Amino acid sequence: MLKECKGKARLIAGGTDLIPEIREKESDFEVLVDIEKIKKLKVIREEGKKIVYWPGVTFSELEESELIRTNAFALSQAASLMGSPK
């Protein structure tokens, strides 16, 4: 889809950053490609001494993750302040 639209498409996985851009009419795209349901992009896990999360993880998922709450509480709190209310 991105290739077919030749620079006129944008990926969206929630829209926290994109929706204000659309409302202000500061966008130059014609098509939105929703990747929110791609489960392979929704990973939160420990890798050695690190916690990694992939680009499909939402702020709500970061906020609610027991792994994040236990080991990176500030990230959980910050995630709760991002985006729109549930």
Q: Residue with structure tokens 């929706």?
A: 19
pLDDT for residue 5: 87
DSSP characters over 6-66: TT-EEEESS-TTHHHHHHTT----SEEEE-TT-GGG--EEEETTEEEE-TT--HHHHHH-H
pLDDT range class, residue 31, cuts 50, 70, 90: confident
**pTM metric for this prediction:** 0.70
Per the DSSP assignment, residues forming a β-bridge with 31 are 9
pLDDT for residue 16: 67
CA distance 58 to 43: 10
Q: Using one digit for the tens of pLDDT, what is the confidence trace for 57-74?
A: 989 999 999 999 999 999
